[in-house]
Amino acid sequence: MKVLLINKTDSGGGAAVAANRLNRALRRNGIDSKLLVQDLKRGEEGVYAIGEGYVHRTKAFGRFVGERLYFLPHEKNAQIRFGFSPANTGIDISNHPLVQEADVIHLHWINQGFLSLDSLSKLFALGKPIIWTQHDMWAFTGGCHYAGDCHEFLESCAFCPFLKKPGKNDLSSQIFAQKRKIYNSNELSVVACSKWLRTLAQESKLLRGMNFYNIPNPIDTNSYAPKDKNTARINLNLPTDKKLILFGAAKVEDQRKGIRYFIEALNYLQLNYPDSANQVELIFFGQMSEKTSSHLPFKTHAFNFVKKRSTIIDLYNAADLYVLPSLQDNLPNTVMEALSCGTPVAGFSIGGVPEMISHGYNGFLAEVKNSTSLADKMYKALFLEDLNEISKNARQKALNAYSEKVVAAAYLKVYEAALNK
């Protein structure tokens, strides 16, 4: 059996990390797997690009720009610019040698000028089994990646809150109709990383009636593993006598990541728990502006973009607590990484997070959009709980649910079932 995973890139973003890890897990467990990407960055074994060189990169960038320019007249404001993908521009990969030789096509994240709706239609027309792992909601909406409070996708997208001129026949309605035409002629196997996303996909008009599976992303639990906390802090030039809270995101200011509530919670922590004032410090990784950093009430150690895996592993191990204030998320890789390193997590009870965190056992769940609740959970974790026991439980959760062997075996069953049909 030859399996071909398809993702826009092999690095950068949660879906890329997940697809790369899955490809690695499948290969390590005896499955003939390859990952095909548009943008090759890491170049691991078993990962291939659809092209290379200056001409390829220029065309890829042109497709990206073309899609953004197409959407520009429709977008409500710049804040949602990358929260909606019209998929009007892309490349046809249906005749690529790796696609032709594959027994199973396994889609991941394919937006921003990589695969268009027309590209998808041509892939589906090959008649090969199609598996599609959902890293967000795009596959079953009229273009948005996360619908927020909108539930139009349950029957037929229209009056889209992402659009400047929402209406009955707006862009989301048109995209929805195109997807419906593609899906109606194919039987998809849909994999959701969380039960939360699986439920939304099952209820959606576009994917209702498809074959559904719930499989988490894998992680290399041998690499992401507990190590001596003081050693990790010394490696990173961090203080060994402080309570350290870790937060990370590709774009810290992304509203969906909840930075506003995190800052409010930190201010509440400082004002209402005086013993935290001189004992707590922060660690941040990801893109963060000076304006945001100026509102942080505790001393902050900023690491910006972290490329080395050894550094990110040290960051998790150096922290006493990882905080995820996201307002909508699937099955965050950062939570998985923290748990695998034995670092407890505190976050809002949203999306797939409650499936990862058992409150008081391997982490802490706060009321959604409640900064006071989040602050209380952070204080409890840092000053009141036995973090050694919670840390052990966090590590065990990763071993039981997210190890490469467990996830590869689950996907093998999906591939075999799809082939048998």
255 falls within a domain: yes
**C-alpha 91, offset from chain centre:** 24
Same domain, yes or no: 192 and 44: yes
Q: What is the pTM of this model?
A: 0.85
Residue 60, domain extent: 2-218+403-420
Number of structural domains (the chain) is 2
> Can you give the CATH number for the domain in which 103 is found?
3.40.50.2000
Three-state helix/strand/coil letters over 21-78: HHHHHHHHCCCEEEEEEEECCCCCCCEEECCCHHHHHHHHHHHHHHHHHHHCCCECCH
Same domain, yes or no: 316 and 412: no
Sequential DSSP letters for 378-414:
HHIIIIIS-HHHHHHHHHHHHHHHSBHHHHHHHHHHH
pLDDT at 257: 84
CB 216 within 8 A of CB 331: yes
pLDDT at 393: 96
Same domain, yes or no: 407 and 363: no
Same domain, yes or no: 275 and 370: yes
224 falls within a domain: no
Model confidence band, residue 187 (pLDDT cutoffs 50, 70, 90)? confident
Same domain, yes or no: 28 and 130: yes
**In angstroms, rounded to a whole number, what is the distance separating the alpha carbons of residues 321 and 318?**
9
Measured N-to-C along each axis, helices 117-124 and 171-184 cross at an angle, to the nearest 10 degrees, of: 10
Same domain, yes or no: 16 and 144: yes
Q: Which helix (H) or strand (E) holds 375?
A: helix 371-379
CB 7 within 8 A of CB 110: yes
Over range 59-64, report the average pLDDT: 94
10 falls within a domain: yes
pLDDT at 215: 95
Where do the DSSP E strands lie in 234-380? 243-251, 280-287, 300-302, 321-324, 345-348, 363-366
> pLDDT of 284-343, one tens digit each?
988 777 777 788 889 999 888 888 889 999 999 999 999 999 988 888 889 999 999 999
Q: Is the pLDDT score of 164 beyond 90?
A: yes
118 falls within a domain: yes
Same domain, yes or no: 365 and 252: yes
Model confidence band, residue 256 (pLDDT cutoffs 50, 70, 90)? confident
> pLDDT of 337-383, one tens digit each?
999 999 999 999 988 899 999 999 999 999 999 999 999 999 999 98
Same domain, yes or no: 7 and 48: yes
Same domain, yes or no: 252 and 204: no
3 three-class SS: strand
Same domain, yes or no: 273 and 240: yes
Same domain, yes or no: 132 and 190: yes
Same domain, yes or no: 327 and 297: yes
